[in-house]
Amino acid sequence: MGNTNGHVMRTLSIAPRMPDDEFYFVAGGRAAELLKGRYRVHEVPVLRTKHKKHRLSLSGTIGQIIHRVTEIPAITSRLLDLMDHFQPDLIVSDREFFLPLAAMRARRECISIDHTHILKACHYSVPSHLRFNWSLTMLNDYFLFDHTRKNLIVSFFHPPIKKGCSDEIFNAVIRPHLEKTPPVRGEKIFVYLSIHGFHRLIDCLQATGREIVVYGSHRPPGRYGRVEYRSFDETKMVEDLASCAYAVINGGHNLISEALYFGKPILCFPIAGLFEQYINAHHVQKLGYGEYTYRYEPTKDFLTSFENNLGAFSENIRQNFREGSRDLVARLKTLSAG
């Protein structure tokens, strides 16, 4: 799987529900760190996007791509050796760069489980001012992450699928232990920001008068007035999400899905340049689950309007959100068996 927390959490939504199956994970960076001690992990370099000042850094990302491409022969050779040793019944990639290429060299089918293939498989509108970002995203995905013939897409929204497309769409998946954490209607704001530099946003949120719990910040853990900065702790983070009034996040699909599972309205601040985050945030708004903005200093009126609609957002989530972990696991079992 890819390097972000979302990819790892999606993996941890599936693997524990398949206790009779044996797994060997290919991962790097943060993903490898989080999986070690739970499963066997073969580490590989990570192809990641670079960010600067809340935006995609095009030059930094291109440099990353060039570096990773030069490593293809050596990395895929090591993965071929791993396949020979492990003899997998099924090869699956969640937006990881090297494994599908190794599977092609081995003449083995590799399927994908991810969210990003929804951009290729489905119909949706693209605002004119985001056409360039969309074009870059599609170019990146076609050339780097589209080496799989069968794609299982997980998503909290389901746009119309294109005629003739064989991809399959499932509802969002949830880690099993979330089912043991009952949601509570609390008063705090839960904040998780996947990149640094949103300190002005935190200042604006304080105007609501609510307590704020922040994850993902570069600031050291500690309390500063109404704001408490916390280091990553999987158990505590889930508890805080389950007991908040609403969640403030960028636009990552997996955390949006987990917040919706707990019935929490969402305020999205998508990272500029990442079209997938826009489409996620757009559907949060379209489905009546919350709001989004690209402003890093939202006005008091915007926050007041959002909070005035918390009840309606919560009811829409209760009526319409469904999770699909067991359906996806059943499909994987079918594929691995045959």
Per-domain boundaries in the chain:
5-173+324-337, 177-320
Q: What is the pLDDT of residue 54?
A: 54
Q: How far, rounded to the nearest angstrom, does the alpha carbon of residue 163 sit from its chain's CA centroid?
A: 26
pTM score: 0.90
**Whole-number Å distance between alpha carbons of 11 and 104:** 22
Look at residues 98, 223, 111, 102 and name the one whose alpha carbon lies nearest to residue 167: 111
Given a cut of 70, whether residue 258 has pLDDT beyond it is yes
Given a cut of 80, whether residue 53 has pLDDT beyond it is no
Q: What is the pLDDT of residue 194?
A: 74
As a whole-number percent, the residues of the chain with pLDDT over 90 amount to 72
Given a cut of 70, whether residue 52 has pLDDT beyond it is no
Both tokens assigned to 326: 């067991």
Confidence of residue 197 (pLDDT cuts 50, 70, 90): low
Q: What is the pLDDT of residue 200?
A: 80
| Angle, helix 253-261 to helix 5-14, in steps of 10 degrees | 50
Asked if the 5-173+324-337 domain carries CATH number 3.40.640.10, the reply is no
Handedness of CA 48, 134, 289, 55 (dihedral sign): positive
Given a cut of 90, whether residue 153 has pLDDT beyond it is yes
Q: For the chain, first and last CA: distance in Å?
A: 23
Q: What is 177-320's CATH topology?
A: Rossmann fold (3.40.50)
Domains 5-173+324-337 and 177-320 share a fold: yes
Q: What is the pLDDT of residue 31?
A: 87
Q: How far, rounded to the nearest angstrom, does the alpha carbon of residue 106 sit from its chain's CA centroid?
A: 29
